[in-house]
């Protein structure tokens, strides 16, 4: 039998696994194809146990040929190669049992509350038959930002102006919010003018909203209440001077009650 077996490579017995190839285990006369040559890892102790006494057995010369089913299942054909296959299958089976405790293992790990960009996360790659891959925290942040940017419009602090040249009555799109690009109503008239807040029955402003106003011209603007509307201000309802700014804030319970705050005079 010895003359039909390839020479085993030098194996150093350490606490780590010893790496060998199938070529070192398969008799030269029984090689089927190079596709069967793959790298495996078995500890030296396991090799000693597996082949203890078996290498003195006789090969089955009457069954040197066979198909791949024989190779994996027959106890007579390719006898010691089958032993390797059976042993590896047994070991994999026991390792599969260990996977059921992976949740407890992960739960027992030391936690980290502030990940850094260099940290990695283990994933199963669905595009590569679920092979394990790693993703850095930096790449994860980049991916999530790109993804969520497609779902939510970014907030902006820019303002737009609704410019008017004469007296003006507020409309729904004059409410200051991100959807309206934080609009500011501005009257640029050189003559006295009014800025009117209409009743809720006419324009259904959202409760608690705010409307910002700026007097852009020399003509003084007076804040004016529409029918049934109450405007409350401690120092009058006229803008004090050109470039003066005013905010009108609606009550969050009574829709026709507004507080007027800003550069005001009587």
Q: Is residue 65 part of a domain?
A: yes
Is there a single domain that holds both residue 92 and residue 133? no
Q: Look up the pTM and report it.
A: 0.45
Averaged in consecutive runs of 10 residues, what is the pLDDT profile of the chain (266 residues)?
43 46 41 45 55 45 43 45 62 56 77 92 89 92 90 74 97 86 93 97 95 97 97 95 97 96 95
CB 246 within 8 A of CB 216: no
Q: Is residue 141 part of a domain?
A: yes
Q: What is the pLDDT of residue 19?
A: 47
Is there a single domain that holds both residue 91 and residue 175? no
Nearest to 197 by CA among 213, 182, 181: 213
What is the total count of domains within the chain? 3
Element (H, E) at 40: strand 39-42
Q: Is residue 156 part of a domain?
A: no
Question: How many angstroms separate the Cα of 80 from the Cα of each of 62, 83, 90?
Answer: 16, 5, 15
Q: Is residue 199 part of a domain?
A: yes
Q: What is the pLDDT of residue 143?
A: 94
Segments forming the whole domain that contains residue 244: 161-265
Question: The domain spanning residue 250 has which CATH number?
Answer: 2.60.120
Is there a single domain that holds both residue 181 and residue 229? yes
Is there a single domain that holds both residue 211 and residue 244? yes
């Amino acid at each position: 039998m010895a003359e039909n077996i390839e020479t085993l490579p030098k194996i150093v017995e350490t606490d780590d696994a010893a790496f060998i190839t199938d070529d070192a285990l398969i008799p030269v006369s029984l090689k089927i194809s190079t596709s069967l040559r793959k790298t495996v890892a078995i500890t030296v102790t396991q090799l000693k146990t597996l082949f203890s006494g078996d290498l003195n057995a006789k090969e089955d010369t009457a069954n040197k040929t066979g198909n791949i089913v024989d190779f994996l299942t027959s106890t007579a054909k390719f006898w010691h190669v089958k032993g390797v296959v059976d042993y590896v299958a047994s070991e994999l089976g026991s390792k599969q049992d260990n996977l059921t405790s992976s949740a407890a293992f992960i739960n027992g790990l030391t936690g980290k509350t502030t990940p850094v960009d260099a940290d990695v996360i283990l994933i199963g790659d669905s595009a590569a038959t679920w092979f394990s891959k790693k993703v850095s925290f930096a790449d994860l942040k980049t991916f999530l930002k790109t993804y969520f940017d497609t779902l939510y419009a970014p907030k902006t602090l820019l303002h737009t102006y609704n410019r008017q040249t004469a007296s003006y009555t507020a409309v729904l799109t004059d409410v200051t919010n991100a959807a309206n690009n934080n609009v500011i109503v501005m009257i640029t008239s050189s003559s006295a003018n009014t800025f009117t807040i209409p009743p809720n029955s006419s324009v259904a402003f959202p409760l608690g909203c705010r409307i910002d106003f700026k007097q852009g011209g020399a003509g003084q603007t007076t804040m004016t209440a529409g029918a049934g509307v109450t405007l409350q201000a401690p120092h009058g309802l006229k803008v004090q001077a050109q470039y003066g700014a005013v905010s009108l804030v609606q009550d969050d319970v009574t829709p026709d009650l507004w507080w007027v705050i800003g550069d005001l005079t009587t």
